[in-house]
């Protein structure tokens, strides 16, 4: 994996200060909206598309910016982050609000130098090693080496991106990225985990199925909330209700979770440990966040393989799938971000078909070329 300098940029609104919920609270109060708008009513950043867009007018009000509540844990989060990185605040505010924003940041986070406060709307020009932002448009256009999406209700439809849900998640991700650069070469001779990473349509599932069917690898049985398809058995997935899945997630049973097409998927640590403990190789198609979690757990006994297929074939596969139009659009728009994940993997396999990809993986494992 690439080595990096650990210059980390933090978005401010809804990362450090409450913005959207605070704006909705004021909008509900001032306009007497009943029933009151909730954070889940926010679907984008348009103007006039729905009633929640009325909140946007507050974003250019200096008094609003000066009075935004600091989010719980934000001060300690920034303090911990400055221990391991050079931290920058990257905040898109209009000129009228810049003074209010800078004064609050200096007051609340004195450990970050004033010269590291970057204000303006052109985040696409700020080159950093890692950027944490809740705006999908900022993630998609960021030149940062590793843009990381902070999960909020308005961006949960996106998949395949580096993403976190909490401050602790982000701190853990930073540590994983730092450790990955010094990790020993993968060695799966005594068992381990193969993580197949790549966009929808790259052929991950077919490659994994062939490795299991023809080459003695094992498929960890994941849990999912999606409906059972024709011919599927409990050997394919554990099919759970959303309530049951959420209960297991909150109990910490899952080692990794992700969302595709609105359905949740997750695999337990016990499932991986059982396979690896038997000296076998577990192979799983997985998003980059789950792959990094597995890398952190199994270190040299895990290998992250990026499946790179020609973009036009990936797009053709996506549009041919029985997905709704919104889901297809989101997956196509996220391709640039998904291809960036190649830099986080140990090995790239370029493929136009399942057979050559399988052979490349087997050859790399046999030769110890990873």
Residue among 350, 322, 318 at smallest CA distance from 332:
318
pLDDT the model gives residue 4: 43
The answer on pLDDT for 147 being more than 60 is yes
pLDDT the model gives residue 24: 95
Residue among 272, 271, 245 at smallest CA distance from 259:
245
Mean of pLDDT over the chain: 88
Domain boundaries, the chain: 7-180, 192-367
In which region does residue 101 sit, left (phi positive, over 0), alpha (psi from -120 to 50) or beta (all else)? alpha
CATH superfamily name and code, 192-367: P-loop containing nucleotide triphosphate hydrolases (3.40.50.300)
Q: pLDDT for 216-271, tens place per residue?
A: 999 999 999 999 988 888 888 999 999 999 898 888 888 888 777 778 888 898 89
Domain 7-180 identical in fold to domain 192-367: yes
Task: Convert the chain into a string of H (helix), E (strand) and C (coil).
Answer: CCCCCCEEEECCECCCECCHHHHHHHHHHHHCCCCCCCHHHCCCCCCCCCHHHHHHHHHHCHHHHHHCCECCCHHHHHHHHHCCCEEEEEECCCHHHHHHHHHHHHHHCCCCCHHHEEECCCHHHCCCCEEEECCHHHHHHCCCCEEEEECCHHHCCCCCCCEECCHHHHHHHHHHHHHHCCCCCCCCCCCEEEEEECCCCCCHHHHHHHHHHHHCCECCCEEECCCCCCCCCCCCEEECCHHHHHHHHHCCCEEEEEEECCEEEEEEHHHHHHHHHCCCEEEEECCHHHHHHHHHHHHHHEEEEEEEECHHHHHHHHHHCCCCHHHHHHHHHCHHHHHHHHHHCCEEEEECCHHHHHHHHHHHHHHCCC
Taking residues 166-185, report their average pLDDT.
79
Separation of alpha carbons 113 and 357, rounded Å: 48
pLDDT the model gives residue 2: 41
Residues in contact with 46: Cβ distance below 8 Å, sequence separation at least 6, in sequence order:
53
What is the per-residue burial (b if ≥16 Cβ within 10 Å, else e) of 320-334?
eeebeeebbebbbeb
Q: What residues does 239 pair with on adjacent strands?
A: 224
The answer on pLDDT for 353 being more than 80 is no
* Terminal Cα distance for the chain, rounded: 11
Greater model confidence, 180 or 277: 277
- The lowest-confidence range among 15-24, 46-55, 187-196 is 46-55
Residues in contact with 111: Cβ distance below 8 Å, sequence separation at least 6, in sequence order:
78, 79, 82
pLDDT the model gives residue 71: 97
Q: What residues does 241 pair with on adjacent strands?
A: none
The answer on pLDDT for 88 being more than 90 is yes
pLDDT the model gives residue 349: 92
Greater model confidence, 40 or 130: 130
Residue among 169, 131, 135, 129 at smallest CA distance from 147:
131
Residue among 185, 196, 160 at smallest CA distance from 289:
160
pLDDT bracket for residue 175 (50, 70, 90): confident
* Strand-strand pairing, 254-260 and 263-268: antiparallel
The number of beta carbons lying within 10 Å of the beta carbon of residue 198 is: 29
> What are the structure tokens assigned to 302, written together?
């895990």
Greater model confidence, 182 or 14: 14
Residues in contact with 347: Cβ distance below 8 Å, sequence separation at least 6, in sequence order:
303, 304, 305, 306, 364, 369, 370
The answer on pLDDT for 63 being more than 90 is yes
pLDDT bracket for residue 3 (50, 70, 90): very low
> What are the structure tokens assigned to 121, written together?
């709307």
* Strand-strand pairing, 192-197 and 281-285: parallel
pLDDT the model gives residue 12: 97
As to burial, measured by CB atoms within 10 angstroms (0-12 exposed, 13-18 middle, 19+ buried), residue 10 is: buried
CATH number belonging to domain 7-180: 3.40.50.1000
The answer on pLDDT for 182 being more than 70 is no
pLDDT the model gives residue 1: 41
Query: Do residues 191 and 301 make contact, with C-beta atoms less than 8 angstroms apart?
Result: yes
pLDDT the model gives residue 48: 55
> Over pLDDT 90: what percentage of the chain?
48
> What are the structure tokens assigned to 353, written together?
């078909």
């Amino acid at each position: 994996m690439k080595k990096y300098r650990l210059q980390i940029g933090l978005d401010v609104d809804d990362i450090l200060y409450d913005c959207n919920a605070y704006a909705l609270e004021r909008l509900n109060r001032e306009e007497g909206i009943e029933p009151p708008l909730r954070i889940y009513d926010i679907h984008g950043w348009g103007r006039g598309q729905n009633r929640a867009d009325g909140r946007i007018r507050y974003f250019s009000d200096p008094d609003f910016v000066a009075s935004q509540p600091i989010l719980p844990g934000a001060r300690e989060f920034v303090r911990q982050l400055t221990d391991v990185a050079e931290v920058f605040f990257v905040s898109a505010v209009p000129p009228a609000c810049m003074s209010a924003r800078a004064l609050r940041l200096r007051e609340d986070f004195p450990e970050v130098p004033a010269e590291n406060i970057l204000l303006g709307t052109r985040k696409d020009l700020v080159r950093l090693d890692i950027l944490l932002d809740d705006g999908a448009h900022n993630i998609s256009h960021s030149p940062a080496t590793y843009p990381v999406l902070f999960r909020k209700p308005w961006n949960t439809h996106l998949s395949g991106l580096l993403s976190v849900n909490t401050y602790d998640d982000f701190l853990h991700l930073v540590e994983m990225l730092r450790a990955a650069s010094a990790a020993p070469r993968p060695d799966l001779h005594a068992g381990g985990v193969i993580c197949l990473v790549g966009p929808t349509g790259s052929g991950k599932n077919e490659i994994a199925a062939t490795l299991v069917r023809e080459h003695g690898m094992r498929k960890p049985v994941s849990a999912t909330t999606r409906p059972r398809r024709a011919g599927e058995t409990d050997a394919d997935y554990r099919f759970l209700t959303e309530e049951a899945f959420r209960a297991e997630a909150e109990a910490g049973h899952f080692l990794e979770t992700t969302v595709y097409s609105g359905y949740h998927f997750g695999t337990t640590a016990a499932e991986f440990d059982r396979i690896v403990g038997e000296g076998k190789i577990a192979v799983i198609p997985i998003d980059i966040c789950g792959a990094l979690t597995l890398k952190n757990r199994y270190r040299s006994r895990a290998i992250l393989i990026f499946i790179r297929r020609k973009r036009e074939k990936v797009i053709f596969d996506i549009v041919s799938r029985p997905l709704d139009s919104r889901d297809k659009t989101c997956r196509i728009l996220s391709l640039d971000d998904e291809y960036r994940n190649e830099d986080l993997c140990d090995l790239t396999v370029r493929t136009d078909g399942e057979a050559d990809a399988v052979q490349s993986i087997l050859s790399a494992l046999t030769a110890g070329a990873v």
